[in-house]
Amino acid sequence: MSRIKEFFHRWNKRGCPQCGGKEETCVVKDTIQGIAAEVSICCEQCGAEINYWAYGAYLFPQTKIEIVRAFFVGLKRKLREWV
């Protein structure tokens, strides 16, 4: 069971759009009283910015599952407006 979880965890991670790397590093951009307020998430291999976290929310979905969910939520919203 643990091998299945590890495989899913590796598959579910979003890779870097430039080099395809799955490892990431965080760079703190701003702090408030010593607590990170804005963090840039960069690819460890090429250094490209993959995502941005600020004040508790990500700019883009972090995983493949979240990307699919966001697509269907948007589709559902468009269907409601159309009907």
47-80: per-residue pLDDT in tens? Answer: 888 888 898 888 877 777 887 888 888 888 888 8
Task: Return the domain boundaries, the chain.
Answer: 2-82
* pLDDT over 70 at 21, yes or no: yes
pTM reported for the whole predicted model? 0.62
The DSSP-derived string for the chain is: -HHHHHHHHHHHBPPPTTT----EEEEEEEEETTEEEEEEEEETTT--EEEEEETTEESS-SBHHHHHHHHHHHHHHHHHHH-
